[in-house]
Chain A
């Protein structure tokens, strides 16, 4: 188990290196830069600016300095477009926002998706089952960028219940819609997956044995069926977290939450190399950490998997 964790952690290093090198060269090869504007700077000034940011050196030297600074001092460099701010400042300000509604969105996905899947399996071909199938199709067709405007249309413009954007220190009214917009489609997938595996488990011989013993239905489901039925759902949470990280870029932009997604898009517009690289690393690390956490949790719960790892 420890061995496995270490091996997975070691994988992170080459992946991040490839990502950084690739992104670094990709961005620098593109024409233009953070200091090109409609009225070009005089060459002398431009030279000074470039020197100030260390951009007069050859690319591989810059790349080396960048990586060195990260490793030695956790320094991701200054922002090119936002004066007097470092990448660390930008992340420290925006990341808690994204993390907060991301967390509530994950809670929403699990707290609604899992029970819905279980109920649909218990009432196979009943009302809840069809409701869930409908929901699954709905979520396929209404991705977050269609759902979010509709939510605002209903909750803000028509009924005036919730604010249509902003953050305001993370009051709950400001978290509801971002969390729903981010989570709905995954909630439906989780429900569908839970339903499928629950149906499979309920049809298995040991459940029949439990029924034959005369155990109450409650005990059968909560004690015996639930745990194995949730395993596939758990593995699916890894990819779900990855997709949610991706989706959070959109949610940040649409709801103006002030999360890192907005910084990312702004950075792309203004060629803010350091912000883009820093956020790319952050997104990738987050992806790794969450997938690894899910995998370890899985191994912890399922003895078969645990045996396979060591």
Chain B
């Protein structure tokens, strides 16, 4: 052990190696990236999630059926002939109405991931911006935002969500919009706290003395310093949003047929499981769980890599 260290210290290119290491970027993000890559489960989960994304985008290429086509050959004999089979091209079997479940799962995964990856980040950006503004300005604006926040938390979101969905259309864009509205508080408090702490630091004073405007200070100088919080929070909100969407779809006020989402498929599968067509529950459930597992471990890895408290 000691011998190895000595050998390394005395080796001809040791000085060059060290210098190279120092010159190479050791920024916070490079450091965090290195820590994240060391977390095997997180890296594996990124791979798993990528496979799911590819499945959602290109899965249709391997399907012999479209997601709304009814296979009249198996309709009425779904319990006997509707199961997963390689012969008739229904890799995952068919659903209750004789439509190809594989194509529908691809479609549902696409919907759920799209909703999660659009609505999640957008609502965190919204919440974080509000939090940064209210932390920076303080005073009446801060009190108003906090008051609205408290009131909002006291109302179970499901009320708002279900009523909105049932009354105003059931399209994907509506779904994304309402999720953003429901989640506007995401990350608000924590970013507000961070900004309140940072705004008294010297570099902010310096920027102000240079004559920068408040908004420029917030978005140029404070934003990079709270970015890690936003990234962690986004990784927590995305699976939560996917879950929200699935819950609402399960309740029957999700995206309009024939389009579908993982929650809607789960709901259909759960309603037919008494008839013994378990694949209708199993495949959507497996994909859903896979997505949640990988998002969970990615979030975990990001937290370990970015949060200074975890180091």
Residues of A within 8 A of B (CB): 11, 14-15, 18-19, 23, 26-27, 30, 32, 137, 140-143, 145-146, 148-150, 152-153, 157, 164, 242, 245-246, 249-250, 253-254, 264-265, 268-269, 271, 276, 279-280, 283-284, 287-288, 291
Q: Are B166 and A269 in contact (CB under 8 A)?
A: yes
Q: Are B154 and A143 in contact (CB under 8 A)?
A: no
Partner of B269, one of A14, A141, A149, A254: A149
Pairs A–B under 8 Å by Cβ, sample size 20: A15-B154, A26-B163, A26-B164, A26-B167, A30-B167, A30-B168, A141-B292, A143-B246, A143-B247, A145-B250, A146-B266, A148-B270, A242-B156, A246-B157, A250-B250, A250-B251, A264-B159, A271-B167, A276-B163, A283-B156
Least CB distance, B178 to chain A, in whole angstroms = 11
Which residues of chain B from 149 to 203 have a CB within 8 Å of any chain A CB?
A: 150-151, 153-160, 162-168
Partner of A140, one of B164, B166, B274, B292: B292
Least CB distance, A233 to chain B, in whole angstroms = 19
Q: Are B247 and A287 in contact (CB under 8 A)?
A: no
- The binding surface of chain B is classed by DSSP as helix
> Does B289 touch A at the CB level, under 8 Å?
yes
Q: Are A152 and B156 in contact (CB under 8 A)?
A: no
Q: Are B292 and A265 in contact (CB under 8 A)?
A: no
Q: Are B252 and A146 in contact (CB under 8 A)?
A: no
> Does B273 touch A at the CB level, under 8 Å?
yes
Q: Are B246 and A18 in contact (CB under 8 A)?
A: no
Least CB distance, A234 to chain B, in whole angstroms = 18
Given contacts A143-B243, A146-B285, A149-B266, contact A23 B292 (CB under 8 A): no
Given contacts A15-B151, A26-B167, A141-B296, contact A149 B273 (CB under 8 A): yes
Q: Are B296 and A137 in contact (CB under 8 A)?
A: yes
Q: Are A280 and B292 in contact (CB under 8 A)?
A: no
Given contacts A149-B270, A268-B162, A287-B154, contact A250 B247 (CB under 8 A): yes
Q: Are B166 and A145 in contact (CB under 8 A)?
A: no
Complex CA–CA separation, A14 to B243 (angstroms): 31
Complex CA–CA separation, A249 to B163 (angstroms): 13
> Does B233 touch A at the CB level, under 8 Å?
no
> Does B94 touch A at the CB level, under 8 Å?
no
Given contacts A30-B167, A140-B292, contact A268 B253 (CB under 8 A): yes
Contacts of B160 in A (CB 8 A): 23
Given contacts A26-B163, A145-B263, contact A284 B154 (CB under 8 A): yes
Complex CA–CA separation, A145 to B285 (angstroms): 10
Partner of A19, one of B155, B269, B274, B278: B155
Complex CA–CA separation, A249 to B157 (angstroms): 11
> Does B114 touch A at the CB level, under 8 Å?
no
Complex CA–CA separation, A291 to B151 (angstroms): 13
> Does B67 touch A at the CB level, under 8 Å?
no
> Does B65 touch A at the CB level, under 8 Å?
no
Contacts of B153 in A (CB 8 A): 242
